[in-house]
Amino acid sequence: MPDKQIIVTGASKGIGAAIAQDLSKRGFHPVCLSRSGGAPAGTGHRCDVTDEAAVRSLFARIADDGPVVGLINNAGLHEGSPSDTLETASYLKVMTLNATAVMIASREVFPHLRKSKGRIVNIGSFFDKLGVPENLSYCVSKAAVAAMTRCLAAEWAPHGIAVMNVAPGYVETDLNRDFLAQENVKRWLAKRVPMQRPGDAGEIAKLVGSLFAEDVAYLTGETIYIDGGQGMNL
Ligand SMILES: NC(=O)c1ccc[n+]([C@@H]2O[C@H](COP(=O)([O-])OP(=O)(O)OC[C@H]3O[C@@H](n4cnc5c(N)ncnc54)[C@H](OP(=O)(O)O)[C@@H]3O)[C@@H](O)[C@H]2O)c1
């Protein structure tokens, strides 16, 4: 029976895969959820996290396998569009996965984390505090994640559950590989980011893994920006 299970959504690749690998090295058992079901470490399950009934029944099965001590809401997508032609369907698609699915997974994991006094870490974005042209849906969805983090942290602290939001800057993954490969974008990032480079998925994973491993008891509700200094740079 695996103990110390941590559910990681969107763990088949990118930042989620790096998080699963980091957690595994630290002695946790990552339970990796995605539509393809790939598991870079731990156990893999096919699950579309926008499917409420599927999430509910899978979480119950995972809890039958052993204690659940954490949830990482990482699955997300990006769609950009000029706001004057933004399709409602595109807006709702981004909001449904990036924000509504975070609420659903958090709600469904609550009874299990209440037993273990576990924690939730959401993966937001530094776009949550920026006005980014042609990125309305994504920015709104990530601002919602930061707000949810605060609300859940306040409501569930008496139950011993901590909730945090880790908000990365640019990290090269399938989500943005084509964008980051453009020469003008590379030059712009080198000037715009004080650390002069995009982040690496392993760097985000290290922060997330340390939140579980260090178990800093008085820390909850906060957004930690990990963006090479881009978001605070004038
Ligand atoms: N990359 C960046 O620069 C960056 C910056 C800030 C924040 N973030 C955030 O970091 C998170 C991970 O991004 P990433 O760059 O690693 O993206 P990615 O490489 O595109 O990976 C996305 C992951 O989510 C899964 N997924 C997508 N739709 C799903 C669904 N409906 N149900 C379950 N799983 C689903 C994908 O697997 P399947 O296709 O198999 O389902 C994949 O494992 C996202 O929340 C993103 O907004 C990324």
The CATH number of the domain holding residue 107 is 3.40.50.720
Residue 158 Cα to ligand 1 middle (Å): 31
Within-domain flag for 179: no
Q: Is 40 in the pocket of ligand 1 (CB under 6 A)?
A: no
Q: How many domains does the structure of the chain reveal? A: 1
Length of the chain in residues, anyone?
234
226 CB neighbour count, 10 Å cutoff: 18
Q: From the alpha carbon of 77, which atom of ligand 1 is closest?
A: 47
Tokens of 182: 């453009």
Within-domain flag for 68: yes
Q: From the alpha carbon of 175, which atom of ligand 1 is closest?
A: 20
The reported pTM is: 0.98
How far apart are the C-alpha atoms of 107 and 152, rounded to whole Å?
9
Which residues on adjacent β-strands are paired with residue 68? 5
Indicate which residue's Cα is closest to atom 8 of ligand 1. Answer: 125
109 CB neighbour count, 10 Å cutoff: 22
Residues near 146 by Cβ (< 8 Å), separated by ≥ 6? 124, 128, 165, 167, 223
Q: Would you please indicate which residues are annotated as catalytic (active-site) residues?
A: 138
Residue 7 Cα to ligand 1 middle (Å): 15
Residue-number span of the structural domain to which 216 is assigned: 5-172+200-226
Q: Is 150 in the pocket of ligand 1 (CB under 6 A)?
A: no
Mutation to probe ligand 1, out of 51, 77, 130 (largest number of atoms < 8 A from CB): 77
Within-domain flag for 21: yes
Q: Is 100 in the pocket of ligand 1 (CB under 6 A)?
A: no
Which residues on adjacent β-strands are paired with residue 120? 71, 163
Q: How far is CA 31 from CA 41, 70, 108, in A?
A: 8, 10, 15
Q: From the alpha carbon of 168, which atom of ligand 1 is closest?
A: 6
Within-domain flag for 232: no
Tell the residue number behind the tokens 């990036």, with chain if given.
98
Q: Is 127 in the pocket of ligand 1 (CB under 6 A)?
A: no
Each of the 234 residues of the chain gets a pLDDT tens digit; together they read 788 999 999 999 999 999 999 999 999 999 999 999 999 999 999 999 999 999 999 999 999 999 999 999 999 999 999 999 999 999 999 999 999 999 999 999 999 999 999 999 999 999 999 999 999 999 999 999 999 999 999 999 999 999 999 999 999 999 999 999 999 999 999 999 999 999 999 999 999 999 999 999 999 999 999 999 999 998
Sign, CA dihedral 73-77-78-83, equals negative
229: left (phi over 0), alpha (psi -120 to 50) or beta: left
Within-domain flag for 181: no
Within-domain flag for 184: no
Residue 2 Cα to ligand 1 middle (Å): 25
Within-domain flag for 166: yes
Residue 168 Cα to ligand 1 middle (Å): 12
